[in-house]
Amino acid sequence: MAENKVVVITGASSGMGEATAKLLAKDGDKLVLGARREERLKEIAKDIEELGGEAAYLATDVTNDDEVEALAKLAIDKFGRIDVWLNSAGIMPQSFLAQKKIKDWDNMIDINIKGTLYGIGAALPYMMKQKSGQIINIASIAAHVSGPMSAVYSGTKFAVRAISEGLRQEMAQAKTNVRVTLISPGAVDTGLINSITDEKVKAGTEEFYKNFSIPVDRIATTIKQAIDLPADAAWNEVIIRPTAQQM
């Protein structure tokens, strides 16, 4: 069994964040959970304890740098270190650019890009000081291909991909032993499509996901495999799609 680790997860109240937390808890990892829904975090922390794990949680809006910093401090105060930081918070309100859904654009930029940056910024000082750690960022297949209705979402995920590669090179150059992993899922049953505000677009996406999406546990397993890899190597970028998904 791999050495138990302290893992901080944003977007931990549902989807990939929740599934990953519960999977890691089974191996005895210590979880620090952040998301906006405090009551949901409380329920998940209880589930983790019933699985034999240990969890702390803090209501966290990833668009607020101070709250993300507080989540990192909670991990340090309670467990003394941060071994893994998983940036899992994200939204996907797809629409045509001509619809000019500026609020959706701003929310995607704030959560998908800034939220990832704030997580990196909160974790790095501790990881660099302890000379070890791993940043895992959730991107999307949309970080590799764009199309109608996904221009802004893809733009945010292309950004996460670029940020991750830049971070990887910086950490290698500085000899920090900090690993960087980017996970780019295809269609996964996470509830992400609930953030789509255009009803017609949402209906079409729901039909696509109904036909092709895979369970969220597949992503959790992939994340665990990336964490469990020996510290002298890293999966820098992983694309995981449903076998039947063409795009």
Q: Which sequence positions are flagged as catalytic?
A: 153
Q: Give Cα separations from 103 to 6, 11, 19, 94, 152 (angstroms).
A: 35, 20, 29, 12, 12
The one-letter amino acid at 239: I
How far from the centroid of its chain's Cα atoms is residue 148's Cα? 24
Please, what's the b/e burial string for 169-199 (b: 16 or more CB within 10 A of its CB; e: otherwise)? eebeeeebbbbbbbbbbbbbbbebbebbebe
β-pair partners for 179: 134
For residue 119, give both structure tokens.
């997580």
What whole-number distance in Å separates Cα of residue 88 and Cα of residue 14? 10
Beta strand segments in the chain, E: 6-10, 30-35, 54-59, 84-87, 133-138, 178-185, 188-189, 214-215, 237-240
For residue 15, give both structure tokens.
């989807």
What whole-number distance in Å separates Cα of residue 49 and Cα of residue 101? 42
Query: Position of tokens 């290698």?
Result: 172
